[in-house]
Amino acid sequence: MTTNPDDSKNAENHGLDPALVAHGFNLVGVLAAEHYDGLVGSGWHCAEALPSARSAMLLGCGGVDFFRAVRSSPEWEAGIDPVDRFARRWLEFQCAQWREAGFESRGFLYTDQRGSGNEAGARSRAQSGAQSKDGGRHADFVSLGAASGMGVPSRLGILLHPRFGPWFSIRGLLLTERPLAPTPPLAWNPCRGCPAPCATACPSDRAVGAGGFDIEACFSCKVDTPSCQSSCAARRTCVYGRDEAYDSEAETYYTQSAFRVGREFRRQTLRVDPDTR
């Protein structure tokens, strides 16, 4: 990954098929297999997922290109889970291309879960002292994205990229036998010294705290703040990436989906009534 924002769309330089770049997969992060193994929980290790893997590639989508491509896809027409089905199709396409070139490859979506979930947490979070709430069943894309230079952790919880700011997602992970040059972490600390207009814009007094993002405080604020159920004022106000912000249809789609899943998460995992603050 590069720190030069002008180069951030040159994902094909990292071995990605240009068709993926044209469909919005315009940001990649690459880790050597051993580095990747140190950041994920069991079930996700190369030994279990693709023993011959030499590289792990994270596929990111910055700005509006990806959602535009989804909106004009057959998956959108079909209307069932269009974003994830579209992303899955392109992950499979890339794997097929690499296999054809002689490199066994395997793709995973950001929502995929593996392993028993009995671990205290994925290794990356355990190393940072935080407890993983899902026991490591998901691969932690935020940690993998940071380690491979897709962005840096921010006060908002999500990663920030020099060009896209908070407006990018990490849709998939490819494990491949193909040796790819790793992309180093970014040397960038955007929140240090920033007056944090994100915190001022947030109606919760705890969600965007000086010590980091409190996702439970955010959920609790959403309960009686309808605007936060379809948009995030804090994210909109970040000083980075404003020219790359999602349009309101995309932001509403993502935020409403996350709100629905978040309610279930509060009910099932946190065991709180999702309608209470």
Secondary structure (3-state) at 34: helix
| Dist. CA 140–CA 88, nearest whole Å | 18
3-state secondary structure (DSSP) of residue 244: helix
Can residue 190 be called a binding residue for ligand SF4 (CB under 6 A)? yes
Within 8 A by CB and 6+ apart from 112, the residues are 138, 139
Which partner from the list ligand SF4, ligand B12, none does 23 bind, CB cut-off 5 to 8 Å by kind? none
H helices of the chain, in order, are 18-22, 33-37, 46-49, 65-71, 74-78, 82-100, 123-127, 141-147, 197-201, 215-222, 233-237, 248-268
Per-residue binding string, ligand SF4, 92-111, x by CB under 6 A, is --------------------
Applying CB under 6 A, the residues found at the interface with ligand B12 are 110-111, 121-122, 125, 132-134, 136, 138-142, 151, 156-159, 168-171, 213, 215, 218, 254-255, 258, 261-262, 265
First to last CA, the chain: 40
Residue selected from 1, 21, 95, 238 as contacting ligand SF4 according to rule CB under 6 A: 238
Nearer to ligand B12, 170 or 196 (CB): 170
Backbone angles phi and psi of 59, in degrees to 5 = -105, 120
- For residue 258, the minimal CB distance to ligand B12 (Å) is 3
Q: Give CA–CA dist 196/193, Å, rounded.
A: 8
Pairing of strands 159-160, 152-153: antiparallel
Question: 196 to 235, contacts with ligand SF4 by CB under 6 A?
Answer: 196-198, 202-204, 207-208, 218, 221-222, 228, 232-234
Taking CB under 6 A as the criterion, the residue among 114, 155, 161, 163 binding ligand SF4 is 155
Nearer to ligand SF4, 86 or 253 (CB): 253
Residue from the set 194, 223, 258, 270 that interacts with ligand SF4 by CB under 6 A: 194
Chain positions contacting ligand SF4, by CB under 6 A = 154-156, 190-191, 194, 196-198, 202-204, 207-208, 218, 221-222, 228, 232-234, 238-240
